[in-house]
Chain A
Amino acid sequence: MTTLTAALPELRARVSPRETLRQILLMTGRALQKMRRNPEQFFDVTLQPLLFTPMFGYIFGGAVAGGVSKYLPLLIPGILVQTALTSCMATGVTLREDMEKGVFDRFKSLPMSRVAPLAGPAVADTVRYAIATTLTILVGLAMGYRPGGGVVGVVAAGLLVVVTAWSLSWVFTFLGTMMKSAQGLQGISMMVLFPLTFLSNAYVPASTLPDWLQAFVKVNPVSHVVSALRSLANHGTVNSEVGWALLACAIVVAVFVPLAVRGYRRQL
């Protein structure tokens, strides 16, 4: 009929790792561009630290530690983890909303890496986690928190929070590819997060809890991350908890990145 068939492009069998990386960066750029235009995305990561840190500090400080300034070394790492968890939940919810838009049909029909549309928002959201972390620490300092780990210890703790949030965001990204709606995802996520943060040592020392609860608190990964942060920020020491926290993050990433990509493919 025509000579078109002769002019067919050379077809590549798959996306190379280099292209994948490039596409992840492109999708990160897109997410950052949208974040700049829609500052509402920063509300949760700004308000939470500004509200919760003083609130928890002044309410529980006297009861738990006999004074606000004595409570802060216990509390700040706890708040850091809680804020990180809720903001990485938002990563999944935002992605789910995004996936319902027509533009995802185009991403799916383009010869592009399947991980890039998921990884882009995850990488871009580290900016949000970093803002939440920095604000929490600043509010803590203003309230009289004097971390024993010094600048290095605090920065290391901050990095660990961001790494943890990024890793966990893959759990919510995975759920985002499985759930039918963003609201559904939000509901489920709250049900997971609430017990996970409160049934940990984030706000109270584990030793004050009844035995049966202690058993759970001890295996709760949130507790390990909180302990790791305390040792980094308050003492400037890298202990085994830090190792456990990083190992847990690595496992979460290794399990949930492939699951999320599979979930995304299966939507097809």
Chain B
Amino acid sequence: MTDLAVEAQGLVKKFGELRAVDGIDLQVHAGEVYGVLGPNGAGKTTTLSMLATLLRIDAGSARIFGVDVHHEPHKVRQLIGLTGQYASVDEKLTARENLVLFARIHGQRKQQARETAADLLERFGLTDAGDRLLEKFSGGMRRRLDLAASLISSPPLIFLDEPTTGLDPRTRGQMWDTIRDLVRQGSTILLTTQYLDEADQLADRIAVIDHGRKVAEGTSGELKASVGRSTLAVRLADPADMDAAARAVATVLGRPASRTPEAARLTVPLERADDAAEALIALRRSGISVQEVKVEEPTLDEVFLALTGSPASDEPDHASTGPAASGQLDEMEISR
């Protein structure tokens, strides 16, 4: 037996011409929370689906606790619990019926399955809603049920695909607490997210992926350190100066600046304290007035920007062509 819960080498998945996953290596140690961070379309779900035996691996190999995913999928399925990005529960059944069905598929007898379902409903605060059809469930309740369903067999490895995307902040916080509970109980968790603060909050180690490739890996501290020790944040007096300000700062420091137009805010990682002075002088020279200046610890936003060289998105035109709701969301997240 090995200490590695997940060991993947050179994973590739092609959809026609598109290499959705393009040679990803992953090593997740037993007992850790590993975060896969990337924007919409980066290949997170596809990677997870291959590891969870839902998608054929086109090239490379993956092992879960030493068991080969391609050659022994049935064994791998006994080691994992999957909470998909889109709730993988039956809409036409009640919460309780779902849990009982999955428990019985796992081989539990009727009575035992009923008890398992009751326990899980209790633990996830769904007892009152247990006998309602899922069609009437809120997004947060569905996610909790989905997670509950993944825990029926107490699998040693749990995959969580974007566990909080689309949830309101309060429900999101509850989900984080639930995930932390699982960690305390010793589960190994591989989670994906497009929220930088989520990876920061939950994951011991993080892989940043973009366009199907891993662009960086480390603890959130290491990733931040790799970018710069701190960040300069300025608030512009006139939001219309945003483009000019970003250009001026990028020219003098040789690094892109990330922007939050809604807040007229511009941030840039600092390698030396002198950089801050350089940047401010450059702004003054361009005649841009600054309302507020702060030097902050770097956030993962800057990490991401520095690693991928762009505010991450594989649809460069989606801001100009009237973005879909999800596109808008991740732009907001990336630039926050």
Instruction: Point out the residue from A33, A106, A111 that lies within 8 Å of B88, measured CB to CB.
Output: A106
Once A11-B79, A23-B105 are accepted as A-B contacts, the answer to whether A4 and B30 lie under 8 Å apart by CB is yes
Once A106-B88, A109-B53, A268-B56 are accepted as A-B contacts, the answer to whether A1 and B29 lie under 8 Å apart by CB is yes
Instruction: Point out the residue from A11, A30, A104, A106 that lies within 8 Å of B67, measured CB to CB.
Output: A11
Q: Which chain B residue has the least Cβ–Cβ distance from A117?
A: B105
Inter-chain contacts of A23 with B (CB < 8 A):
105
Alpha-carbon separation in the docked complex, A268 to B1 (Å)? 27
Residue pair B55, A268 in contact (C-beta under 8 Å): yes
Residue pair A108, B90 in contact (C-beta under 8 Å): no
A-B CB contacts (within 8 Å), total count: 105
Alpha-carbon separation in the docked complex, A112 to B107 (Å)? 9
Alpha-carbon separation in the docked complex, A13 to B106 (Å)? 15
Inter-chain contacts of B3 with A (CB < 8 A):
1, 5
Among B70-78, B193-201, B299-307, the stretch in contact with A:
B70-78
Residue pair B97, A8 in contact (C-beta under 8 Å): no
Interface residues on A, range: 35 or more
Alpha-carbon separation in the docked complex, A264 to B88 (Å)? 17
Interface residues on B, range: 35 or more
Q: Is B191 an interface residue (CB 8 A)?
A: no
Residue pair A8, B79 in contact (C-beta under 8 Å): yes
Inter-chain contacts of A14 with B (CB < 8 A):
74
Alpha-carbon separation in the docked complex, A266 to B89 (Å)? 22
Inter-chain contacts of A112 with B (CB < 8 A):
77, 105
Chain A residues within CB distance 8 Å of chain B: 1-2, 4-9, 11-15, 19, 23, 26, 30, 33-34, 37-38, 101-112, 266, 268
Chain B residues within CB distance 8 Å of chain A: 1-3, 5, 29-32, 52-56, 65, 67, 72, 74-75, 77-80, 82, 84, 86-93, 97, 101-102, 104-107, 133, 149, 156, 186, 188
Q: 10 A-B residue contacts at CB 8 Å?
A: A6-B1, A7-B156, A9-B78, A9-B156, A11-B79, A12-B74, A33-B93, A37-B133, A106-B84, A106-B88
Q: 4 additional contacts, CB 8 Å, given A5-B2, A112-B77?
A: A13-B74, A30-B101, A34-B92, A110-B102
